[in-house]
Amino acid sequence: MQAETIMVVGAGLMGRGIAEVAACSGCRVIWGDVKAELVQQGLDEIRQSFARRVEKKKISKEEHDRLMGLLHANVIVAENLHAAARADMVIEAITENLSHKRELHATLGKICRPEAILVSNTSTLSITALGASSGRPGKFIGMHFFSPVPVMKVVEVIRGLLTSDETCQAALALTAKMGKEAVLAPDIPGFIVNRTILAWYGEAIDMVASGVRPEDIDRGWRLATNAAMGPLETADFSGLHVVLHAMDSVYEATGDAKFKAHPLLRNMVQAGMLGRKSGRGFYDYAKKK
């Protein structure tokens, strides 16, 4: 099955990025959230992002106009979830909460056509469990996009225990159509990338708590690996509340001590130090301006 019409549920950062990339790759996109105005806000933010790319000379004016044309031609704002009945594939990109995702997929499983595929953009949760909630586990798969979606090339494709070969092939085909590279990941807590990166965060945060300066940790990592950012810079970019939620989720699922969030991280989140989003995390971004 080739997915021509995609519904994206969720107008937050991830949903916005997925909708943009899908539309600009030529897919017909039905985009919905709890309120249609949230999608309209998301469209405005995409347009502003295109304009900033021109200002920063990352794309030409001609490319800007081409992308705007694709966005206008391919995106339809959904009034409610019943629009999912028109989709070949529905990609859920709501908050990382198991009960909320289960409830949504149970509803989508009843609305969608029998041949439609349901997808969760989850970073840590069980695809097998979500697939069971949908009532169509063979037609259920995980596609973990990374932020910012228009920039990051990788997509983890995660099969549940009962995901069919046809469903997997459809997800891989869509990943390629979007210009991304797929990594087949096991259905284990954290999959491949987050399972690795959470341990990376944990060690770096433990060193900060022991008195090592964040800038020394990040500079050492960048110089040693030729990476663009070190672990603490990456955590600040992702959002420390997001990191904490992911660590709690994987630790709860595995009981492995290396995923247990350090009290420093928990205290920072409780203090509202969320990283770039709040202006302060392991770094003070007000001072960096």
Together in a domain, 128 and 197: no
Catalytic residue among 74, 120, 121, 123: 123
Confidence of residue 236 (pLDDT cuts 50, 70, 90): very high
Domain count within the chain? 2
Clarify whether 156 is annotated catalytic.
yes
Domain boundary among 123, 156, 185: 185
Clarify whether 123 is annotated catalytic.
yes
Strands 89-92 and 117-120: parallel
Together in a domain, 149 and 208: no
Together in a domain, 122 and 34: yes
Which two tokens mark 124?
């840590």
Domain boundary among 167, 185, 203: 185
Together in a domain, 209 and 175: no
Together in a domain, 31 and 134: yes
CB-based contact 90:81 (threshold 8 Å): no
- Whether 288 maps to a domain, the answer reads no
What CATH number does residue 96 fall under? 3.40.50.720
Together in a domain, 98 and 128: yes
pLDDT in tens, 109-146: 999 999 999 999 999 999 999 999 999 999 999 999 99
Catalytic residue among 156, 233, 238, 241: 156
Together in a domain, 179 and 217: no
- State which residues form the domain around 75: 5-185
What CATH number does residue 209 fall under? 1.10.1040.10
Range of weakest confidence among 17-21, 96-100, 201-205: 96-100
CB-based contact 188:30 (threshold 8 Å): no
- Whether 28 maps to a domain, the answer reads yes
Catalytic residue among 74, 126, 133, 194: 194
- Whether 84 maps to a domain, the answer reads yes
Together in a domain, 199 and 250: yes
- Whether 135 maps to a domain, the answer reads yes
Average pLDDT score over residue span 97-107: 96
- Whether 289 maps to a domain, the answer reads no
Together in a domain, 26 and 133: yes
pLDDT in tens, 4-55: 999 999 999 999 999 999 999 999 999 999 999 999 999 999 999 999 999 9
- Listed in sequence order, the DSSP H helices in the chain are 13-24, 36-55, 61-74, 98-111, 127-134, 165-177, 193-209, 214-225, 231-238, 240-254, 263-270, 285-288
3-class secondary-structure state, position 284: strand
Together in a domain, 181 and 258: no
- Whether 225 maps to a domain, the answer reads yes
Together in a domain, 79 and 175: yes
Domain boundary among 185, 208, 233: 185
CB burial of 165-196 (b: ≥16 within 10 Å; e: otherwise) equals eebbebbbebbebbebebeebebebbbbebbe
What whole-number percentage of the chain has pLDDT above 70? 99
- Whether 286 maps to a domain, the answer reads no
What does the pLDDT read at residue 288?
63
Clarify whether 210 is annotated catalytic.
no
Average pLDDT score over residue span 189-206: 95
Mean confidence (pLDDT) of the chain: 95
Together in a domain, 88 and 176: yes
Catalytic residue among 126, 134, 144, 249: 144
What does the pLDDT read at residue 43?
96
What does the pLDDT read at residue 2?
77
Which two tokens mark 219?
């500079």
pLDDT surpasses 70 at 289: no
Q: Distance (Å, rounded) from C-alpha 20 to C-alpha 84?
A: 18
For residue 3, the number of C-alpha atoms closer than 13 Å in the C-beta half-sphere is: 34
List, as one string, the DSSP characters of 131-146.
Answer: HHHHT-GGGEEEEEE-
- Whether 68 maps to a domain, the answer reads yes
Confidence of residue 147 (pLDDT cuts 50, 70, 90): confident
